[in-house]
Chain A
Amino acid sequence: MLLKSFTFILPLAFFGFIGTIAWLNQGVKANSLSKEEPSKRQPSVVAAPVDQLDFTDYAPLKFEEIFVTPAGPKGLEYTAKANELKGKRVHMDGFMVKHFNDDPQLFMFTALPTSHNSVEYGLADSLPVSLVHVVMQVRPGDAPIWTPRRLTIAGTLELGSRQEMDGRVSHVRLLCDLVADSKTQTALELRKPLALQKDRRAMGAKTDFRLPQTNKPKDTSQLTQ
């Protein structure tokens, strides 16, 4: 009986610990993401039902408007519109890529429903070049969980190379302010407690909370022996 109690308590203690670390990091990350006054970031509810979000402060941006299409012979090129919106508020409609990232701040976002078998393929993938990394503010003990819904994400557009924790180099990031169901435009909460994400644990997502000011990729050498 005592043993059973411990087996119940230990996981809770573990997630409490993780949550504490996340909470300690939260302030730093929240600050790093905040380029506007918090009061200005709240959704307007004027002329809209109480539970609907208003994205009028955010410029619409489509995935196909990020890079010049078709691509040139070497790298990619941001469009004039993307460069113009760099560092500004935008909103985009798309779908969460069905994947897990060890970084609980992140999920990948594409124009159409996409899955990425990260366990099998790692970084050799078929993801679209217009892939957007949505960066969410850390909430203690939580991480994004996949949803099939079409989403509207609003936030600050960030362009430029950044090494993510899984080794992937992101080029387009959306520092997320708001998430809504595209169909209803009502707010959605994508983050769920890690303790309730059996799939995430089962596939081995490590849920490493990023240290402030570092984008150092995770050392995966221990995983492949």
Chain B
Amino acid sequence: MKITSKLPIYLAAAGLVTTSFAAPSVTRLNPPSALFTDGDAMPPFISRFVPGQRFDLQATIQADAGQTITSAIFKVGGVTVPGTVTVTSIGSDKFNVVLRAYSNAVAGVKTVTVEATQSNSLLATASGNFEIVGITTVGRKAKNIIYLIGDGMSLAHRTAARIVTNGITMGKANAALAMDKLPVTGILNTPSLNSIITDSAPGAACYSVGNKSNNGQEGVFPDDTTDKWDNPRVEHMGNYLARTQGKALGIVTTADVEDATPGSFSAHTQDRGAGTGIVDMYLDEGVANHNLRVLLGGGRKWFIPSGSAGSGRVNSTTAAGADAVLPAELATGWGVSAGALDPTRDLIAGFVSAGFTYAPDSTTLNGVSSATTKLLGLFNTGNMDVSLDKIAERRGGTSVGTVATFPDQPLLEEMTEKALQVLKNNTQGFVLMVEAASIDKQAHNMDTERFVHDTIEFDRSVQKCIDFQVANPDTLIIVTADHECAGVAIFGASLVTNTELVTRSTALGTDGVAGVVNGGTGTATDGQKTLRTGVAGIYDNAAFPIYTNNADGYPATMDPDRKMLIGYGGNGDRYEDWRQNPNPGVNPDVRDTAGDFFITGQAAGTGNSTAVHTAADIPLSAGGRGASLFTGTMDNTEVFFKAMQVLIGGAK
């Protein structure tokens, strides 16, 4: 396999010194495959689709200097694929060739070949493969599917929420979380197409399209053009099920609706940050082609015409936050709107014209009638405030974050309940994605109390879905994440009361200015004594932290006496040289004999997170129709195929 993979390199090297051997070459072939990249025709197959799911065939051709690529064809299984192949020069004698919206109805592993003809009649050809995953007709189909994604939520995040909201007595949880009650548990691997560490775009898009993509990309494969909108597409679950079964699509998030996870269920772009275009796609493609019926979250700034105070719409198709203008051949091939550079577009008015009810706050959301079939809710200009701050405001406390500006934001559980109410009106069923975005965002900030609180908010949303499933048994519930965030670890509990913690953390040193922790007394170990070893109770001393809940279901305080303590592994300060340690039984302090390899966290730096995503597997909990398929350890893309089996073929 390795020798085969290097053959093109040797040929290319020969071409450098002997021009008579010059020939155009294929430098990329989509869908991605190990056959094309490494000459490996064996499983696992990188790209997989369900029968009839549409995707683009694309290749990049390196022509000889001064030559052009005049035409190209794609073959699957040796048979030329009908349709238009568009050839576009992308500079440096490279050409992008693409055939849009291909699909294949027959299960099996397929070989895809591109043949591109150069202006001097020389041919460039290469092959890859993909798999069409068969659907078996068995048992009963699920009518509805609910994806609940706790962004960045892994086992420790769940455990922390359980300890806080339910508590533990004599070694046993006083009650299970709602997600704990789901009967089936799986473990997911999360790498993206280009890294062991995924970001939220491919980490979420895999559930909607069944395939890997590079970090930052939503519903596409990578290509070699700089255009954010022309990448080879893969059809979303919502789009597929809307056109084949008439299902509706709902997207609910506590983030800006432009953010990576919500965008990954409807948009197609190589840039998760292209907010103007992504939200335009919700209306232009989501509503028109994916039967998008519910969109709830933050991000109002993208929906307000440029020039109005508070608008974030960008007058560019290439900058960060870009608007979407699709190539004509793509729009034609997929039968979608080409979009327009329209920063002054009033997208709220556009949704209302399309029949949507608009809710700008929780009061309006609560008043949405049971007959409503289309609902847009935008509750903040950017990300919504987190549940800890929303609850504090509801309890009459101080308004922090943007709560004073948007004092009537719904909780995720309230948005979830309303989304279910609206989507239920679609008789053909629905696909609903509910994201608790700030589990991740607050874990990035190493803001323990806020990410735990949002995990509780998420779990209360899971309970709403379980309640719905009980009343509507043909519903499949999948609770998972897109990746782990921050290397969260519950390592103990505080040895002291909250009052004592306040005293210690605010005490000034002998200079009366600097805090004790900062060495104001002149003793560098003061912080170590007062707030580290003096507070961190481990093993037996951690005991069982006690939190209590108010009538609203949320913790009375996140600062009880002897509270739970959390550390962060992604990536904390420590002594490290990254190499195998020569001797066992030596801790990092001792290994640093030269005192010169203190690591302050690889992600440190202004503009970067202080804690980052990790490659750790993530848990999945499933319940309802077909949930039994989701047991075991699997790649994250498998979730899509199991879900489609249940939705299209059924399950026992």
Contact = CB atoms under 8 A, between A and B. Distances in A.
Q: In which size bucket is the chain B interface?
A: 35 or more
Contact of B275 (A76, A116, A124, A199): A124
B104 interface: no
Contacts of B310: 67, 71, 74-76, 129, 171
Interface string A110-140: 0000011111111111111110000000000
Interface string A197-223: 001101101000000000011111110
A70 B451 CA distance: 26
Interface string A144-180: 0010000000000001010100111101000000000
Contact of A125 (B270, B322, B382, B604): B382
A70 B404 contact: yes
B273 interface: yes
A36 interface: no
A40 B248 CA distance: 64
A219 B303 CA distance: 22
B382 A127 contact: yes
B311 A161 contact: yes
Interface string B221-261: 01010111000000000000000000000000001101110
B271 to A, nearest CB: 4
Nearest to A77: B309
A100 interface: yes
Nearest to B259: A124
A191 interface: no
Q: In which size bucket is the chain A interface?
A: 35 or more
B339 to A, nearest CB: 16
A225 interface: yes
Contact of A217 (B303, B319, B404): B319
Nearest to A101: B607
Contacts of A220: 271, 273, 318-320, 322
Contact of B321 (A122, A202, A216, A221): A122
Nearest to B255: A124
B360 A73 contact: yes
Contacts of B273: 121-124, 167, 220, 224
Contacts of B402: 126, 128-129
Residue among A76, A116, A218 having the largest count of chain B Cβ atoms under 10 Å: A76
A69 interface: yes
A129 B381 contact: yes
Interface in B323-364: 348, 358, 360-361
A64 interface: yes
Interface string B293-320: 0000001110110111111111110111
B607 A100 contact: yes
A70 B385 CA distance: 14
A98 interface: yes
B624 to A, nearest CB: 31
B272 interface: yes
A221 B382 contact: no
Contacts of A168: 312, 320-321
A201 B404 CA distance: 36
A221 B226 CA distance: 5
A217 B445 contact: no
A88 interface: no
B436 to A, nearest CB: 15
A77 B607 CA distance: 29
Contact of A225 (B224, B275, B321, B406): B224
Contact of B314 (A73, A118, A217): A217
B394 to A, nearest CB: 14
B320 A217 contact: yes
B348 A100 contact: no
Contact of B444 (A117, A171, A216): A117
Nearest to B309: A76
B609 interface: yes
A217 B316 contact: yes
A125 B444 CA distance: 13
B15 interface: no
B607 A126 contact: no
B637 interface: no
B401 interface: yes
Given A129-B381, A129-B402, A220-B319, A122 B272 contact: yes
A74 B380 CA distance: 10
Nearest to A197: B606
Interface of A: 64, 67, 69-78, 98-100, 115-130, 146, 159, 161, 163, 166-169, 171, 199-200, 202-203, 205, 216-222, 224-225
Give the top 9 A-B pairs by smallest Cβ distance, nearest first: A167-B320, A122-B273, A217-B319, A76-B310, A73-B360, A221-B226, A167-B321, A124-B256, A75-B308
